[in-house]
Chains A and B, each alone.
Chain A
Amino acid sequence: MTSSHKLMGTLERSSIAGPPAPNPGAAAGRAQPKLKISQLNFFYGAYQALHEVELEIAANRITALIGPSGCGKSTFLRVLNRMHETVRGARVSGEVLLDNEDALAMDVSQLRRRVGMVFQKPNPFPKSIFDNVAYGLRVNGTTRGAHLKEAVEHSLRRAALWDEVKDKLHKSAYALSGGQQQRLCIARGLAVDPEVLLLDEPSSALDPIATAKIEELVFHLKENCTIVIVTHNMQQAARIADDTGFFLLGKLIEFAKTETIFKNPAKKETEDYITGRFG
Chain B
Amino acid sequence: MTLHRWRNFINAVMFGLTAACALAVVCVLFWILGFLLWNGGKSLNWAFFTQLPKPPGEMGGGMANAILGSAQIVCIASLMGIPIGFLGGIYLAEFGMGTFPFLVRYTADLLNGVPSIVMGLFAYAIVVRPMHQFSALAGGVALSVILIPTTIRTTEQFLRAVPQTLREGALALGANKWKAIATVVVPAAVRGVATGMILGIARIAGESAPLLFTSFGNQYWSRSLGQPTASLPVMIFTYAISPYDDWHREAWAAGLVLLAVMLLLNISARLVLSPGAPRN
Contact = CB atoms under 8 A, between A and B. Distances in A.
Interface of A: 81, 83, 86, 88, 109-110, 112-113, 116-117, 119, 121, 123-128, 135-136, 138-140, 172, 185, 188-189, 192
Interface string B161-179: 0010111111111111001
A223 B99 CA distance: 50
Interface stretch (B13-21, B41-49, B81-89, B183-191): B183-191
B165 A121 contact: yes
A27 B67 CA distance: 79
A161 to B, nearest CB: 17
B224 interface: no
Nearest to A138: B183
Contacts of B167: 86
B280 interface: yes
Contact of A112 (B165, B174, B184, B280): B174
A135 B166 CA distance: 12
Given A135-B183, A139-B183, A125 B170 contact: yes
A119 B174 contact: no
A121 B165 CA distance: 8
Given A117-B172, A123-B168, A125-B166, 7 more contacts: A83-B171, A83-B172, A116-B172, A119-B165, A125-B187, A135-B183, A140-B174
B279 interface: yes
A119 B168 CA distance: 9
A192 B279 CA distance: 26
B174 A125 contact: no
5 contacts: A83-B172, A86-B168, A88-B97, A125-B184, A127-B187
A185 B173 CA distance: 10
Contacts of B280: 126-128
Question: Could you say which of B165, B171, B174, B188 has the most chain A C-beta atoms within 10 Å of its C-beta?
Answer: B174
A50 to B, nearest CB: 19
A136 B184 CA distance: 12
Nearest to A188: B173
B174 A123 contact: no
Interface in B164-220: 165-176, 179, 183-184, 187-188
Contacts of B279: 126, 172
A223 to B, nearest CB: 22
A73 to B, nearest CB: 17
Interface of B: 97, 163, 165-176, 179, 183-184, 187-188, 279-280
A128 B187 CA distance: 12
Contacts of B179: 139
B172 A125 contact: no
Given A86-B171, A125-B188, A126-B280, A109 B176 contact: yes
Contacts of B172: 81, 83, 112, 116-117, 119, 189
Contacts of B163: 123
A123 B171 contact: no
A189 B172 CA distance: 8
Contacts of A83: 168, 171-172
B93 to A, nearest CB: 14
Contacts of B184: 125, 135
A108 to B, nearest CB: 8
Contacts of B175: 109, 135-136, 139
B97 A123 contact: no
Given A83-B168, A88-B97, A121-B165, A126 B174 contact: no
Contacts of B183: 135, 138-139
B173 A139 contact: yes
Contacts of B173: 112-113, 116, 135-136, 139, 188-189, 192
Given A127-B280, A139-B183, A110 B174 contact: yes
Nearest to A128: B280
B113 to A, nearest CB: 30
Contacts of A88: 97
A110 B175 CA distance: 9
Contacts of B176: 109
Contact of B169 (A113, A125, A128): A125
Contacts of B165: 119, 121, 123
A238 to B, nearest CB: 27
Question: Could you say which of A86, A124, A138 has the most chain B C-beta atoms within 10 Å of its C-beta?
Answer: A86
Contacts of A140: 174
Contacts of A121: 165
Contacts of A188: 169, 173
A119 B169 contact: yes
A192 B179 CA distance: 16
A5 to B, nearest CB: 43
